[in-house]
Amino acid sequence: MNIKQLWNHLTRNTGISKELKGDKTKIPWNIYDNKNYDEAYKQHKTFHEGFKYKFFTPLLWLAQKILGKYLLKKAPSGKHNLNLKIFDEATESAIDKIHVYFLRHVDWNSEHSKGSKEDMLKSSKKGVTGDKLRTMKNLVMTMAHKDTFIREFLNVWMFEMAELMIKNYPEHPHVHLFYNKTSVWDVRYAALFDQVNTMVRPADHEKVTK
């Protein structure tokens, strides 16, 4: 991420309507579990425009600039680093897939939606979103490699997550339904979620991922 891209994040206005501020009208269902429009407005302004763009993104940029040459970009070899390798490979795969299967189809970004699969894979390697995600991965991997407490916490955390994922998704492979709509209260997603989870079969998964 360069200075111009960082400045765009710092000055970004996400465009949420000010008319929602103070509106206590109840929202029946929404992806963020807000109870009313006023709560949705405050959460959006505080998290997206405040924390995400004006604090967290600059913090990642600063960490990359200061620690860049010290950060692990790839998990070291050795049996004792197996879980770091798994974390590294899984995160890299997830970064690629979130570009190809999510950002490529979101309806709020026409630039992304016009890109081919190959274009999105290139963006995953060189774009701002991929850069931020990869910096977070490298920070975690470096801390785990240099600090035994963080290493063992990561080991425990990964095993705990793996057990819970297997428990909650016993039929593998699993197809996840992406929420890629502009409206955060698109109730169709809530209606489709259970249907997709119960109806998808491994053969269908192959068609989706190829």
Residue 3 confidence (pLDDT): 78
**What confidence tier does 162 reach under pLDDT thresholds 50, 70, 90?**
very high
The answer to whether residue 64 scores a pLDDT higher than 80 is yes
> Domain coordinates of the chain in residue numbers?
1-69, 71-168, 173-210
Residue 136 confidence (pLDDT): 95
HSE-CB of 83 using CA atoms within 13 angstroms: 18
Residue 74 confidence (pLDDT): 95
The answer to whether residue 153 scores a pLDDT higher than 70 is yes
By C-alpha distance, which of 34, 53, 35 is closest to 45?
53
Looking at residue 121, its amino acid is L
Residue 159 confidence (pLDDT): 96
Residue 148 burial by CB count (10 A; 0-12/13-18/19+): exposed, middle or buried? exposed
Structure tokens at 71: 């950060």
Residue 167 confidence (pLDDT): 86
Residue 107 confidence (pLDDT): 60
Structure tokens at 66: 């200061």
pLDDT (tens digit, 9 = 90+) per residue, 2-61? 777 777 777 777 677 788 889 999 987 888 888 998 998 898 888 888 898 889 989 998
Looking at residue 209, its amino acid is T
**What confidence tier does 94 reach under pLDDT thresholds 50, 70, 90?**
very high
Which DSSP category does 26 fall into?
Answer: B
Higher-confidence position of 40 and 81: 81
Distance CA 19, CA 25 (A): 12
Rounded to an integer, what is the distance from CA 134 to the centroid of its chain?
Answer: 11
pLDDT (tens digit, 9 = 90+) per residue, 118-148? 888 888 888 888 899 999 999 999 999 999 9
Task: Report CA-CA distances (Å) from 148 to 86, 144, 151, 152, 197.
Answer: 17, 7, 5, 6, 38
Share of the chain above pLDDT 90, in %: 34
Looking at residue 119, its amino acid is D
By C-alpha distance, which of 192, 61, 210, 83 is closest to 145?
83
Q: pTM of whole model > 0.75? A: yes
Residue 66 confidence (pLDDT): 92
